[in-house]
């Protein structure tokens, strides 16, 4: 034991109160409603046609989203940034 002992730094917890960055829609997860932007509910995925069948829990609209459409939207967003 020496004259000067090392002090352990205190661990400080930081709480981030900023709004979280909205996540980009991914294949297999619900997508917002195209009519009212409400919450979508995933009913079924057709793996052969690569299509998701969804409905809106707010306006009861039924819609479908193809994987190719989601990939195209992602490429367009990446090229404009």
- Structural tokens at position 41: 């509910």
Q: Establish if 20 belongs to a structural domain.
A: no
Q: What is the pTM of this model?
A: 0.64
Based on the structure, what is the number of domains in the chain? 1
Q: Residue 66: which domain range?
A: 40-80
Please tell me which residue, 66 or 74, carries the higher pLDDT value: 66
In a domain? residue 5: no
Give the list of residues 6+ apart from residue 55 with CB closer than 8 angstroms, or none: 40, 41, 43, 61, 62, 63
Where is mean pLDDT largest: 14-23, 43-52, 65-74? Answer: 43-52
Q: Is residue 66 part of a domain?
A: yes
- If one compares 6 and 43, the residue with the highest pLDDT of the two is 43
């Amino acid at each position: 034991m020496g004259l000067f002992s090392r002090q352990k730094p205190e661990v400080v917890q930081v709480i981030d109160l900023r709004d979280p960055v909205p996540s980009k829609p991914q294949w297999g997860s619900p997508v917002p409603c195209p009519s009212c932007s409400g919450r979508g509910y995933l009913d079924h995925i057709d793996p052969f046609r690569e299509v998701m069948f969804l409905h809106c829990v707010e306006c009861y609209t039924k819609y479908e989203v193809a994987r190719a459409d989601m990939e195209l939207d992602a490429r367009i967003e990446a090229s404009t940034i």
